[in-house]
Amino acid sequence: MLRSLSFQFILDFFELTQIDSTKILQRLGIESFDEFDVILQQSLASRSAQQSSHDYIIQSSTLENSLSYLFTPFIHAVLNRDTVYIAPRQNIVEQVYAHYFRLDALELENQQSITDMNLCLDLVPTEFNVAEFNIYALAKALLDPACQHLTMIGDSGLDPVSKQQLESLFQVQISEIVLNQKQFNVSEIDFKKLFWKRKTPELAQVCQSIAQENAALVSRQFHMKLDDAEHLIDDLMYSEHLFEKLSVFGEFTETIFKNSLQSKIVLNRN
């Protein structure tokens, strides 16, 4: 069965329109389909023996002015779950994340990020269409032998039968979440103060929404009652644990960016 696992095998799970397979491979850092197939087969063969575990959260679409799951990877990281968050780099993503850290640094040290910060943010360029994004995100998760759980937010492009087949074959648990339609006027939110201990009524309402929308996912991941999960997220936002995580991640990306810039300067001098 291992030999039948290939890039084409993954493509067959989707109703494809027009995709650029080469573009997907390039972002994965893989040079050929043969190389992809070998890594995919090795990943499956070694998954059961992995000591570490990575949770993948794939948000296939974001709603403008919706904060639904932008903070999910940070919530999980505070709870010591190594989390990889993959989302399209849309306006709402850039607008919110820019308040906390350097977006330009995210592409530089992904492995160091998951090791040091318990999280990795993979913001995929908008040049990827919906099908390309879904294939890329699923492939990235399945290529990681440490991937044990995969949560898909929004339209995954997979039907229930395909999802069940993937779970059984790749030994990965797959969950799906419908994107919440609740929206806020992002331009009116003071993101720097959003996770401070003392909040205005307006910021408290935003935090309540974030807690409610993430409760189901945290409940499932940590085997908690729904109410307990919501209270836990509330505690993270009012005890400033989430604020501290975002601040430290901001410092991390700043350091990565400066080191990269310094390396370029040295290379140019030589």
pLDDT at 237: 94
pLDDT recorded at residue 68: 78
Contacts of 87 (CB under 8 A, 6+ apart): 58, 59, 62, 70, 93, 121, 122, 123, 124
Q: Which DSSP letter does residue 103 get? A: G
Sign of CA dihedral 55, 70, 196, 234: negative
Conformation bin of residue 183: beta by default, left when phi > 0, alpha when psi is -120 to 50: beta
Q: How many Å is the Cα radius of gyration of the chain?
A: 19
Q: Are 66 and 180 in contact (CB under 8 A)?
A: yes
pLDDT of residue 154: 83
Domains (range + CATH), the chain: 2-269 (3.40.1030)
Is residue 150 helix, strand or coil? Answer: strand
DSSP state of 191: T
Query: Cβ distance 133 to 60 under 8 Å?
Result: yes
Residue corresponding to tokens 């040049």: 127
Confidence at residue 113, expressed as pLDDT on a 0 to 100 scale: 80
Structure confidence at residue 65 (pLDDT): 64
Confidence (pLDDT) at 115:
79
Mean pLDDT by 10 residues, the chain (270 residues): 76 84 96 95 92 91 76 94 93 91 80 82 92 94 95 87 92 86 83 94 94 92 93 94 94 86 65
Q: From CA 113, how far away is CA 82, in angstroms rounded?
A: 10
**pTM listed for this prediction:** 0.91
H helix intervals, the chain: 7-11, 21-28, 33-47, 72-78, 91-97, 110-117, 130-143, 160-170, 201-222, 226-238, 241-269
Bridge partners (DSSP) listed for residue 88:
124
Q: How many residues does the chain have?
A: 270
Kindly report the backbone phi and psi dihedral angles of residue 176, in degrees, each rounded to the nearest multiple of 5, phi listed first.
-125, 140
Which of 150, 128, 115, 142 shows the shortest CA–CA distance to 252?
115
- Note the pLDDT of residue 266: 59
Taking CA atoms, 97 is separated from 55, 100, 173, 224, 247, in Å, by: 20, 5, 28, 28, 12
Supply 252's token pair: 């991390």
Please give the backbone phi and psi of residue 211, each rounded to the nearest 5 degrees, phi first: -65, -45
